[in-house]
Structure 1
């Protein structure tokens, strides 16, 4: 039998273990100095508050949206929604609050435009001219006449209804456009902080009002808030779980401090290095510390378990530690390598936040391996360690399982196969669908305010179309305006659409005004000259910050049409986009198609793009991990055989998800890559102990299987418990993608434990050699 690299004797490893033990003080000092230098970068870490981080610079949907914003106004928005606890907004008190908040909103950081019911530029005929003024003039007493006019216009004007006034009159909105300089990452946070402070002030003055804060700027800020919330709440919980489990399993000062040091420094140094390189954390990459903490614990558990076993056999501390390092050095190195490969494969993702998550986590795993074979041994030698009998309480479990597998390997394989097959059969039920606002937990203020907005006023998803007129100044052409109007009317008939904002609505109102407010003339002008004249007259009457630059491009060759949608899923968004573009192609085949764009479109396509890119990344990771296993085992058949209990768990986890949930989002694409390298760990440790027994003791397969259960079984069970607990904590994340990732990973790791202690030994028993 050829010796496997996993168990082949290596004087270099023995010499390394001896050197670490002998030079423990210098090694400890060196580890601490290097750690302090790397961890110092933590102070430079900041959080991103821009949803654009989810899109690569080459993303076509992002490029389309940037082009639209550059053509009109490049801004972010805050939408303030005011609703009285009872009654209508058309009362002196509520309209006064809307007017006060509208005027105060101009003082918010970076505010360049404020639109609301009260400052809506209402036009009406006055003799042979058009009079344009705010619907509720500044400082004017809100009389019954003002209230009646506000009610009449507010509930009939297409530009207001379902946008800035609820159809039932029980809520009103204030739209604030922000033009951000882009000089630092704190601009959005600063604007939202000031906005919320203003809201609190107005709510104190008008206690019968509820004011919600939403919009694209609030969405951006929510990404930062979600990341920081997870950092504050989840990380301490995971640390507490790890500490508790170590105290229970290895109740000694050396073990506890050693594990805390390895886990804490691995995490701090990985984040610190990210800080030195200027990486901004986002909700996805903010999960890296939790993942590093969970995964790093596994390395230390294997060393502590092996050391404890030798101590209980009567060996000295030095002998036990030396044995633990020698027997685990190669397996831990290999498992760290496979885990790193899995995380690095996230760089194939189409969403950059997963690049950061993969790179930071991979760096943390590398540091955990280094600290496990350097820092941990020095602390175990210096500090008191004891013998633990805790894991002996569960020896009957591993004994019973090993007896079953050895006695009936074929039956175990058949039952495992039936269970796996029955679960995998549910995978086709999974639907790739999501609502990107529901990325956020309902505990976050943004989610609560956005749900309130959708329920009381308007939708929060938008599709933007830049409708080309064909030439500079051509937006006044009657044929063009008729085309835009027809398209807007078609959109209004779609079940997903709440409101459509289009230029023809403004021009029709102006045409009516110029004909003495005769309702019969609420239609488009008959000539280009009239339309252009009306627009010019109207724009000259508008106050600063109320122009039409957000609807008309600079050379007046295109206009912006915006459809506001209900709470739709990503699939519904894609379907509406396809229908809108098909309608244009069929109705006006010679006109340039206005493609839908905006954050809703961008997020609706990220899943498919991410899955396509991650299929390649996961395949590469699987190939590299397979080659690592084959090379280290020096056995092609055994290396390939070991992949079976590592691929099945991912498929089984998706099967359970299809059965119980049925819908997945961002996490679906990366779960295989994240867990593949992790679940290989138990397989490697089991096979290493199996081959160690076969080589050193030259025992039959059944004896080697039983030996592997005895040696590594406790460590496999305890590390799996820690990994599952860690990812279950992640499943409580305030960011849905992380929550899905945590729950899917926990399911995968659980099934990996079952396949490693059932299917893997059964497969080994079925081998002919």
Structure 2
């Protein structure tokens, strides 16, 4: 391994690259075209991210629920809160809208006031009949509409919570999509091209504002927001990092090749997504921007080295070869540590994170080779750098900044330690205040209409996230037993008493409605029938609603009558509060339903996501620890010195602690999007440490093992590149703060902040530690020959050999 990374190896690579420039450029073109052909396989994820392993018990229970009752997340709700609703013009427009929606093949069922059915007793046939609640021939009369409004709110408790809020007068329609298309691209096409235009047409015609929500609708608009942000991030990051690059180097040629390289890198990333048949998710959508943000610093480092070499000896050929021979291993190891920060997500059991880790780490390593090969080839065809292009090497503002750093390290080391310790203590206290959070809609764009509609339904109908409870009676037709119905009713009363949950829906509601219908629609009889009433009331119900298309309760009991389902909806309350509700309901179910007679399971998208969030947080803590361990092992492998490992870890853990402290003080919760920060930032921040320590190890040999002289020589040699790359990374990750997604904003802002602290820590605390932990003179025993020559010795290269 050591021989592989010796200078001779990189000389060999340099000769191959510079002697076969056109062939290599052709190979890059072939790879780019081949990966571009894979773009056709790129798909967007049409389901929510499942953060749990497939074999997890929560997933097993949820899949069993879907197999028995079908897809649960197929409900779209259209709501309205306007006194003008019960006027002839608006009611007619509403009737037209719902009729058009119901006629679509993508819709399975529509439950709306205009075509509402009510149970009526038919004594002659001894059955219940479903009769229209609204007589369409009379809806042109304002007096009639006023009467049905009164009748609805006073005499139809079965539909309360489902279609109306009695207290606030809010109304809504329940639209059930065909379960077969809910998780397909067809869902998006229908909602965007058909459903939404109909909603807008109604609003324009009547002036009444409609509220739309439900999981199919939310997922569609959320997915569109993610897709729109991909182009926003790519464009913004490319613009900002390119401007910074140009500001540093003042060269259009240098900026042009940097832009071209990262664009090709982005094309490769999309190609890898298609090659592996991975879906675009909220995480993989970030990878193209990460390629730009990480690729530009690579270009800065290589371009800076080329210009430094040219200034030293004025030989273009030698400078080009030394770009590869002198920094080949350095850039390889720094990109390896960065890729390691992402690759640690692969060890988690979450498919979402695995795909993100695989694509990001492969893209970073592919970008490294692309930069290392393309930049020397490009400059071999370009004229030598002009004096104005080299001015940044001695620019005043960078010179002043680096002189201040040197002054702090040389004369104020105690203050540096005091500030570092104080920040660590203060941050540790703040880190203890961090709360855990996570929900299906927490990080969705909060300035969009569909998010405001979610808030409307949370306020008026207590949420849109389904929570399901199944009751297995362990015997056929056990659901309709009087004892089972009463137990279910008791559980539903508990659910109804929890403010964060909506009014539950189950077969119990239909049985209660049957009793009310038997007593001629009197709402006072909306209750479970007594044991004496049950036999003759249920005999009426057996023949009711034979048209299953109109039977909204058809999905609440399985075909054998053995298992019942209770559905409620939950507000966006976060994982902590959800756990409390879950524990409360589990305690109640264990009390109501004896385990020897019933098997009760709580499931649904809301619960699956809550469990997935907890699981993911535990796994990400493990991945962070693994990232630290892996990078420490890389340090041991590279430098073979325990002191090197100590001084490399401390300056990079401190910024992570500061970020954790700020999260605690500012109330930023720990959730999947924010915990990603630590592994990614650690992998990026340690790059500066590698550059510094590698250069320091080389300076020791050049300066007769004099530590102080070597430290300050290292700051002069490596400090400028560390500053440049950190600025680009800070600005690049700040681009994510343009997002409408709270998680993406937190990810970008926290990584940018961590990298800023990491730069200062590596430029100030790291050299201080090196000076403190070593004596005035070092020796070769303390710093043995490194396994990998990250910064090789100067070599004599004959330009004629190129």
**TM-score, length-normalised on structure 2?**
0.90
Per-residue Cα deviation, 1:272-303 (whole angstroms, up to 9, x for no partner) = 12112221101121001111111112211111
Q: 1:371 Cα deviation (Å)?
A: 1.0
Are residues 1:762 and 2:768 paired? Answer: yes
Change (3 A) 1:717 1:299: same
Alignment of 1:173-188 (within 5 A): 173-181=172-180, 185-188=184-187
1:584-603 aligned within 5 A:
584-590=589-595, 591-592=597-598, 594-603=600-609
State the secondary structure of the residue aligned to 2:295: helix
CA contact (8 A) 1:539 1:548 kept: no
| Shift, 1:710, TM fit | 1.1
Q: Which secondary structure does the structure 2 equivalent of 1:661 belong to? A: coil
Give the aligned partner of residue 646 of structure 1: 652
CA deviation digits over 1:661-717, x for unaligned, max 9?
A: 342322233222222211111100111111111123435111111111111111111
Aligned partner of residue 600 in structure 2, secondary structure: coil
1:74 matched to which residue of 2? 71
- Using the TM superposition, give the Cα deviation of residue 317 of structure 1 relative to its aligned residue in structure 2, in angstroms: 2.3
Show the 5 A alignment for 1:145-294. Answer: 145=144, 147-154=146-153, 156-168=155-167, 170-181=169-180, 185-193=184-192, 194-206=194-206, 208-294=207-293
How well do the aligned residues superpose, as a CA RMSD in angstroms?
A: 2.5
2:106 pairs with 1:100? no
Once the two structures are TM-superposed, the CA of residue 45 in structure 1 deviates from its matched residue by 1.9
Q: Unaligned stretches of 5+ in structure 2?
A: 779-802
Deviation of 1:213 (Å): 2.4
Report the CA distance shift for 1:105/1:766 in structure 2 as closer, same or farther (over 3 A). Answer: same
1:205–1:700 Cα change, 3 Å: same
The structure-2 alpha-carbon separation of the partners of 1:406 and 1:321, relative to structure 1 and needing over 3 Å to count, comes to farther
Mean Cα deviation higher: 63-72 or 647-656: 63-72
Separation of aligned partners in 2, 1:240 and 1:103: 49
Residue 35 of structure 1: which of 32, 37, 40 is its match? 32
| Cα distance change, pair 475–448 in 1 and its aligned pair in 2 (3 A) | same
Aligned to 1:711: 717
**Secondary structure, in 3 states, of the residue corresponding to 2:158?**
coil
Match of 2:392 in 1: 390
Q: Which residue of 1 aligns with 2:583?
A: 578
Q: Is the 8 A contact 2:466 2:606 kept in 1?
A: yes
Q: 1:62 to 1:88 in 2, by over 3 A?
A: farther
Instruction: Output the CA distance in 2 between the equivalents of 1:203 and 1:515.
Output: 40
Are 2:452 and 1:429 equivalent residues in the alignment?
no
1:562 to 564, 567, 571: 567
Contact between 2:155 and 2:521, CA under 8 Å: does it hold in 1?
A: no
- Classify the secondary structure of the residue corresponding to 1:70: helix
Confirm or deny that 1:524 pairs with 2:505. Answer: no
Counterparts of residues 497-516 of structure 1 (less than 5 Å)? 497-516=501-520
Q: CA deviation at 1:549?
A: 1.8
Q: Kindly tell me: are residues 175 and 330 of structure 1, through their superposed partners in 2, closer, same or farther at Cα, counting changes over 3 Å?
A: same
Mapping of 1:472-511 within 5 angstroms? 472-511=476-515
Aligned residues of 1:49 and 1:223 also touching (Cα < 8 A): no
Query: Which has the larger displacement, 158-167 or 758-767?
Result: 158-167
Counterparts of 1:507 and 1:142, CA distance in 2: 34
Residue aligning to 2:611: 605
Give the superposition deviation at 1:467: 2.0
Give yes or no for contact 1:120–1:135 (8 Å, CA) kept in 2: yes
SS in 1 for 2:529: coil
Asked if 1:403 corresponds to 2:423, the answer is no
**Can you list the C-alpha shifts for 1:476-530, whole angstroms capped at 9, x where unaligned?**
2111111111111121112222322132222122123223445564432334634
Q: Which residue among 438, 444, 466 is the counterpart of 1:440?
A: 444
174-183 or 725-734: bigger deviation: 174-183
Per the alignment, residue 85 of structure 2 pairs with 89
354-363 or 732-741, larger mean C-alpha shift: 732-741
Aligned mates of 1:158, 1:574 — CA distance in 2: 30
Give secondary structure in 1 for the equivalent of 2:111. Answer: strand
Whole-Å separation in 2 of the counterparts to 1:76 and 1:309 = 60
- Count residues with an aligned counterpart: 763
Query: Of the candidates 46, 58, 63, which is equivalent to residue 60 of structure 2?
Result: 63
Report what 2:139 is aligned to.
141
Contact 2:156/2:523, CA 8 A, preserved across alignment: no
Question: CA offsets, 1:424-463, max 9 Å, x none?
Answer: 2201111011342132112344323322333455522332
609-618 or 280-289: which moved more? 609-618
Query: 1:579, 1:185 → 2: CA distance?
Result: 36
- The answer to whether the 8 A contact 1:20-1:27 is kept is yes
- The offset of 1:256, in angstroms, is 1.4
Residue 633 (str. 1) matches residue 630 (str. 2) = no
Q: Distance in 2 between matches of 1:273 and 1:396?
A: 44
Residues 156 and 389 of structure 1: CA distance in aligned 2, closer, same or farther (over 3 Å): farther
Q: TM-score normalized by structure 1?
A: 0.93
Q: Which of 538, 550, 554 in structure 2 is aligned with 1:549?
A: 554
1:533 alignment partner in structure 2: 539
Correspondence 1:341 to 2:334: no
Q: For the residues of structure 1 that align with 2:721 and 2:49, how far apart are their CA atoms?
A: 42
CA distance in 1: counterparts of 2:721 and 2:750, whole angstroms: 22
* Secondary structure class of the residue paired with 1:425: helix
